[in-house]
Amino acid sequence: MTIFRPPIVRTGTAALNRALFSKTVDIAAAAVLDNRLISKYRKSLDAGKEILHVDRVSPIRPHPDKALAEQGRKCLLLAPSVRPEASDTWGPVLKEGVDKKELTVVPYELRLDYDYWTYRDVMGSILPEDLHDEIPSGFNIAGHVAHLNLRDNYLSYKNLVAEIILDKNPQIKTVINKVDNVGSESEFRTFQYEVLAGPGDLNVQVSESDCIFEFDYSKVYWNSKLESEHRRLINLFQPGEVVCDVMAGIGPFAVPAGKKRVFVWANDKNPESFKCLEAAIKKNKVTPFVRPFCEDGRVFIHQAADSVFEASQSGECAVVIRKEALPQTEPSPITTNDTTTTNSNSNPNPPPRPRTRYTTREDRIPLPPTISHFVMNLPASAIDFLPAYRGVYAGREALFAETPDTRQRQRLPMVHVHCFSVKAADQEAALRLAQADICERIGEKLGFVVRPAAAGGGVGEEKGKEEEEEEEGVVAVHCVRDVAPAKSMYCASFRLPREVAFAARG
């Protein structure tokens, strides 16, 4: 409703004058003569569409007359179409309440101030109309820090933006703005920044998937917008499997996976990320399952496959201690003259029930010899790492051979590689373009022809999902999120082809 829009405040200055956002809206209210009738009339006025419906405004208010308000009298705010002096604007419920002398219709001044308006309300009020299409709102939050990536045409408003973000988000204490591009200036995806508001302390604590992470936001990569993608892949991992996280960062995939008893070889080349990863593994008590490494990703792919195999061959396993309650022994019943008495009144001092006793047991979960999933969350360049998979299981073909007793075989690992590709206004067209682009790049780096899954790649409709997944060269492309007007982030998942996995190592 137009009357509930904020006032236009375009002062042309860099100062935020909160007083300019005060506004009074003249409406009507139904004053209730007996507060016990409030619930009844709220429901009936709501059903008759006579009550006020505005976000963040409760329709139940103190009586506008101060003396009556001090006595506890209440009123119900009415829709803007209702005018107190014009009974022809009153609906049937309101008229009936007035006729019964249970209601009176009175003028009401609804006062709205700066605290009422949302961040977007205030920004829309301050910014010129030609900047309304892309109001800075999709900022990344890490603990108490809000991280902006302002476009050039908003830079003159950057301090106002930061001040309003602090006002409207009580959990945020510091606002920073990125001043370079992630992935181009730093191989560790860190970035140069300026502090726009609040203290410059970027040591934060975040919680994701019931795990706690602590880090200096200026020294490692973290993106809270990827939480759903972290969860999506973690849900694919099964307890007892091995996952190799090639670019693990501080562990948003690795640590929660460890909590569900998935073995993870977690690697990051950034020494600061490695240090935070070690701390997260310890803090979240996943040491039996998650092992941290600090290596170049290309080297680590072969290293992980070899070390998992060797650790499995030596009988390594995760030992999990669990606490179990021992069966309780019930106290003997109290007997009198050979008759069992269960009435507590007959014995004012019954013997105490025995305390629950516990024992500890060890669960030993063996480490498999092969990796089930590789994760490569470095979208700017992860595809360039794919040549490192050539020969990853060279000489170990027997690990993936059919066994005579079950006629089943261990499948080669799934590779989940994050990347950037095109975005278009037409979502289906964009996905087709992205699939073609991503598959071409993957095929070039693998030295093996791949094609999109399902409709995008011409795989026969008669094949089921699992059968299609087993086909070499089939790539499932999932859109993770949009990152720029013409660019989206994707995750391409495919089973490592035998020709690549068993190729001779260089």
Binding-site residues for S-adenosyl-L-methionine sit at 230, 296-297, 377
Find the farthest-apart pair of alpha carbons in the chain and give their distance in angstroms, rounded: 97
Measure the CA–CA gap between 111 and 154, rounded to whole angstroms.
31
Token readout for 379 is 């979208």
**β pairing state of 474-484 and 373-376:** unpaired
User: What is the layout of strands, in order, in the sheet containing 290-293?
Assistant: 290-293, 263-267, 242-245, 373-376, 414-422, 487-495, 474-484, 451-452
**Secondary structure of residue 55 in the 3-state scheme:** coil
Q: Which residues are annotated as a binding site?
A: 230, 296-297, 377
* Nearest alpha carbon to residue 4 among 104, 62, 75, 77: 77
Q: Which amino acid is at 338?
A: D
Measure the CA–CA gap between 257 and 139, rounded to whole angstroms.
27
Distance in angstroms between the alpha carbons of the first and the last residue of the chain: 69
DSSP letter assigned to residue 78: B
Token readout for 58 is 């409760």
Bridge partners of residue 140, in order along the sequence: 147
Token readout for 147 is 């991280």
Place of tokens 């990536």: 149
Measure the CA–CA gap between 260 and 79, rounded to whole angstroms.
52
Token readout for 468 is 């299609």
Give the DSSP H or E segment for 109.
strand 103-112
Bridge partners of residue 122, in order along the sequence: none
Token readout for 213 is 């992470």
Measure the CA–CA gap between 318 and 100, rounded to whole angstroms.
75
Measure the CA–CA gap between 123 and 168, rounded to whole angstroms.
11
